[in-house]
Structure 1
Amino acid sequence: MKLELYQIDAFTDKIFGGNPACVVPLKDWLPDEILLKIAKENAVAETAFFVNKGDTIHLRWFTPDIEMDLCGHATLATAHCLKSILNYPKDQIIFETLSGDLTVLVKHDVYHLDFPSRMPTVSELPEAIKNSLNIQPKEVYKSRDYVLVYDTEQDIKNIKINRQLFDTINLDPGGVIVTAKGENCDFVSRFFTPQASILEDPVTGSAHCSLIPFWSSRLKKNELHAIQMSDRVGTLRCQNKKDRVIISGQAKTYSIGNLWTE
């Protein structure tokens, strides 16, 4: 079977920035085993598969290892693929997902993702994670992901992970966010996933479902500018809206091609 394949850099206005995602349109769903094999072969953080149902788009996300419950950058990439390449007629796209219906509004080449808010609560850090960090956090919280709060942006830049220790814990489908107040933005972060093919995710939209309400409460503001400090760097504009968050960013198409499943 021959399928279309689009690779798109999300949360960036430059090629080779942000987080690369592959997007694969389907007419009907293939077996999960095949979807996972395609995601492994693509070897990016997430591959998005979708079926256009007319009024809504059924969307699923796969890492090279598992199916995810929520993914921001691959949702943005899918919206970009639909609007800029496949000529989707509407500026509001409704995705049916494992996290419920997600709406993306497209305005002037900026994609505004309406996602669930996941306010983290005070937690304790498992010893495996604690021992894997070269710098210890000042505060520990958890929602889907652990949220580790540090004093400075420089701490976030300097964090190193002992992967041998880190990979002894399984957080599927979650990960570990490290974050601090930003020097030239409201907050910065990085994101790590134990036992994953890709240890550090370049830009993690779903992590901001927790980061936005957390920093909104701490900084006493509802509109926030965030930077994810991976090597590729991601820029996100954020809004806190009670039980929802708006995560906004741009995207660039990197490649268009085909894949064969047999």
Structure 2
Amino acid sequence: MGRGYQLDLPCFPPQPVEEELNSALQAILPQRPVASFRNFENLFVELADETTVRSFVPDLLRIGRFHPLGLVITAPGRAHDFVSRYFVPGAGIPEDPVTGSIHATLVPYWSEKLGKTHLSAFQCSQRGGHLLCELAGDRVLITGRAKTFMKAEIYLPD
């Protein structure tokens, strides 16, 4: 992969999930999670393997009940350090194709788990995307390719 674009994001280390949310998460998953954690805007679940992440059929109505929280599922990857998928139906996003911001929590999680600061990630939505990630102190650097799909101008009030 060529250099591409790089995002420089604040690191949001994983936080514990409240027991009631943990129970609700388990009810929508195909198997018992390896781990669950959260940040300020999303719930994260580690599943056993990449195949389970790729084959997951989301119950968008149940996931939408977590509104405004999104749901990220992740697992160790075969060709990448980890894979993920991201669902936010409560905000009108059934599945986001490739999401930089979720990696501000996934990178510190997998960095600690795998004992390395440079990671290869793949978000395995239908479109999918490969990201090169680095944990750099309190920052997460994410490099990947991007395709322009929209151009717009935003006007702020005076």
Shift in Å at residue 254 of structure 1? 4.5
Amino acid at match of 1:141: F
Deviation per CA, 1:137-167, whole angstroms, max 9, x where unpaired?
A: 1211111211101111111112122223222
Amino acid at match of 1:122: P
Q: Which residue of 2 aligns with 1:45?
A: none
Q: Distance in 1 between matches of 2:89 and 2:152?
A: 31
Deviation per CA, 1:19-60, whole angstroms, max 9, x where unpaired?
A: xxxxxxxxxxxxxxxxxxxxxxxxxxxxxxxxxxxxxxxxxx
Q: Which segments of 5 or more consecutive residues in structure 2 lack a partner in the other structure? A: 154-158
Show the 5 A alignment for 1:1-262: 110-123=4-17, 124=19, 126=21, 127-144=23-40, 145-171=42-68, 174-254=69-149
Indicate how the Cα distance of structure 1 residues 238 and 198 shifts in structure 2: closer, same or farther if over 3 A, else same.
same
Task: Using structure 2 for the length normalisation, give the TM-score.
Answer: 0.84
Q: Distance in 2 between matches of 1:201 and 1:190?
A: 8
Q: Distance in 1 between matches of 2:20 and 2:96?
A: 20
Shift in Å at residue 195 of structure 1? 1.5
Indicate how the Cα distance of structure 1 residues 114 and 143 shifts in structure 2: closer, same or farther if over 3 A, else same.
same
Amino acid at match of 1:110: G
Q: How many residues align?
A: 150
Q: Distance in 2 between matches of 1:149 and 1:255?
A: 33
Q: More strand per residue: 1 or 2?
A: 1
Amino acid at match of 2:59: N
Tell me if the contact between 1:121 and 1:141 (Cα under 8 Å) persists in the aligned partners: yes
| Percent of paired sites with the same residue | 35
Shift in Å at residue 206 of structure 1? 0.3
Answer with 1 or 2: which has the greater Rg.
Answer: 1
Indicate how the Cα distance of structure 1 residues 242 and 128 shifts in structure 2: closer, same or farther if over 3 A, else same.
same
Shift in Å at residue 212 of structure 1? 0.5
Amino acid at match of 1:183: R
Secondary structure of the corresponding residue to residue 86 of structure 2: strand
Indicate how the Cα distance of structure 1 residues 216 and 257 shifts in structure 2: closer, same or farther if over 3 A, else same.
closer
Deviation per CA, 1:191-225, whole angstroms, max 9, x where unpaired?
A: 11141322111111100000001111111111111
Q: Give the alignment's Cα RMSD to 1 decimal.
A: 2.2
**Farther-moved stretch of structure 1 (228-237 vs 162-171):** 162-171
Q: Distance in 2 between matches of 1:138 and 1:179?
A: 10
Indicate how the Cα distance of structure 1 residues 125 and 203 shifts in structure 2: closer, same or farther if over 3 A, else same.
farther
